[in-house]
Amino acid sequence: MTPTAIAETPRGPEIRAMVEARLQEARRAGGAPETERIKWRGQSANFEVVTMPVADLLYNPQTHRIRAQRAHDPLRDAELEKDPWSSESQAYLHTLLVSKPENPDAPDPDFEKLKDDLKKYGQRDAGIITPSGILVNGNTRRAALKELTSPNIRVAVLPADATWADIAEVELDLQLSKDRRRDYSYINRLIAVHEQFTNGRSVKEIVSDFRTTQKTIDRDLWVYHFITDAIERSRTGLADGSTASMRLMDFERHQESLAELYRVCQTVSQDEADVLKESRLLAILLDFAKTKIRSIKGNFHDAYLAPRLGEAFAAPEEPAEEGLGLPGFDAEPGLDLGGEDVQILRARAATDLVLAVKAKQAAAPRLSPAERTEVTDLFNEARSAMESGIGEAEADIRRAERKLAAAETLREATKLIRECTQQVAQARSHNLLEHRALDDSLEELGTALKQLSRHASRGVEQPGQGLAWLQEAVAEL
């Protein structure tokens, strides 16, 4: 199956004949035929709608609705890639369409809501098919109607020369333009954005297509590359000789943590961002909530995590270089010869090991008993170390906040006093100042300043300029 031409389906000629017959029948019926307005090759066009048997239509194997989820079962996905029209492949697509995007082994509550809506109100919007019966839009509705044992579905019919590129464009446009459809899952949206970019569309065009901002598209492309890099790093060999890796769908539940990581990385240096990405990715892999991940900053790995991890998570030691490889040049002590920061390498080593662990967890049926035990032990060790490290980091953050709390409050008080000064000046200029009320408030301020001076001076032998001023000021009160 090429990116453009649509291969013949098993019952293609039969379905095309049925579609054509029903189109002719609708035209002969008189009156205004039902049509669906669709953006087709850059322009809006009306396409005729017919009623087709639910059982005779085919799920679209290329739909973005479940693009990431196809990797859930590699064997069934391989069969789907080989023969997307077989009953086994179509059954796999049905399973994915009715399941949770983040966990295809569990039913999707949103799909159940769609079923209930169809059962109660019937089909509102027509789906879209190719003349050979491939669903361009309405895959999930067809799945719901099938489970409801509804015999028919209304569908608009595309022209006979429709290609896979046309199908992708129509599906994406409809997904982004109508409110009543189920949204793409987080990862499938990232895939759609990336595909548009790799197909040569400019960021400006993608922003327009997705009805969003350039900042959002920049973030989505950054996150997509961050995830795919992690997947590539996770690739690992198994005892049976095969390989395993993480899947895009494994990151489905971490949208907010990934978006927050992107935002933070835009505000720090490249080296700090590189270390931060490793430590926060590790926390994401270990399924920590975004509120916990926020406490991972700066030197988190070396300060809080590394001391709690075993040797298996340490970076391998590299032999020291004796020179630069040039006659007459020897490395001087402390000379920076380039390469990645040692802190980054240490953080990456721990993350790489957990990436491999997660890849093996995704391939659990292929693991040997010994591998299962090792994976469980390593994951639990990393999870325990991360939980303890985050706990200590949070405690340190709270202590730091308490240390600065008084200074921050005083800065706010200073702002209020400046505002008060302006208000006094304005009131005086209009002869509206209430002197008695102001005097009472100033006495309260003096009392508060005395108390502040007393507490701030305790244990301070050499006060700074600010405290010295305060001590002198309240001494006269």
pLDDT digits over 425-468, tens only?
A: 999 898 888 888 889 889 899 898 889 888 889 888 888 998 88
* Least confident segment among 357-366, 368-377, 434-443: 434-443
Of 63, 180, 54, whose CA–CA distance to 114 is shortest?
180
Distance of CA 278 to the CA centre of its chain: 16
> Tens digits of per-residue pLDDT, 158-168?
999 999 999 99
> Tens digits of per-residue pLDDT, 205-259?
999 888 899 999 999 999 999 999 999 999 999 999 999 999 999 999 999 999 9
Confidence band (pLDDT; 50, 70, 90) for 318?
low
Contact in structure between 245 and 359 (CB atoms under 8 Å): yes
Q: Whole-angstrom Cα distance, residue 27 to residue 49? A: 10
Contact in structure between 111 and 140 (CB atoms under 8 Å): yes
Determine the pLDDT at residue 216: 96
Average pLDDT, the chain: 90
Of 242, 256, 233, whose CA–CA distance to 357 is shortest?
233
Determine the pLDDT at residue 385: 97
CA 77 to each of CA 4, 92, 136, 316: distance values in angstroms, whole numbers, following the listed order: 21, 8, 20, 36
Determine the pLDDT at residue 251: 97
Q: Does residue 199 surpass a pLDDT of 80?
A: yes
Q: Does residue 198 surpass a pLDDT of 60?
A: yes
Determine the pLDDT at residue 461: 85
CA 413 to each of CA 150, 406, 418, 428: distance values in angstroms, whole numbers, following the listed order: 69, 10, 9, 22
User: Strands 236-237 and 43-53: what pairing?
Assistant: unpaired
Of 211, 133, 191, 171, whose CA–CA distance to 40 is shortest?
171
Determine the pLDDT at residue 196: 93
| Phi–psi pair at 155, nearest 5 degrees | -145, 140
Q: Whole-angstrom Cα distance, residue 155 to residue 136? A: 10
* Least confident segment among 320-334, 403-417, 452-466: 320-334
Q: Whole-angstrom Cα distance, residue 210 to residue 1? A: 27
Confidence band (pLDDT; 50, 70, 90) for 77?
very high
Q: Does residue 331 surpass a pLDDT of 70?
A: no
Which residues neighbour 312 within 8 Å (Cβ) at sequence distance 6 or greater? 353, 378, 381
Q: Whole-angstrom Cα distance, residue 7 to residue 85? A: 10
236, β-bridge pairs: 244
Determine the pLDDT at residue 180: 46
Residues in the chain: 477
| 473 compared with 157, residue with greater pLDDT | 157
Q: Whole-angstrom Cα distance, residue 457 to residue 449? A: 12
AA identity, residue 403 = K
Rounding to the nearest 10 degrees, give the CA dihedral for residues 286, 289, 292, 296: 50
Q: Does residue 288 surpass a pLDDT of 80?
A: yes
% of the chain beyond a pLDDT of 90: 71
- Token pair 């790995």 in the structure block, residue: 301
Contact in structure between 203 and 218 (CB atoms under 8 Å): yes
Determine the pLDDT at residue 5: 76
Domain ranges of the chain: 12-184, 226-316+342-395, 434-477
Q: Report pTM.
A: 0.76
Beta-carbon count within 10 A of 352 CB: 18
H or E element, residue 33:
none
| Phi–psi pair at 449, nearest 5 degrees | -65, -35
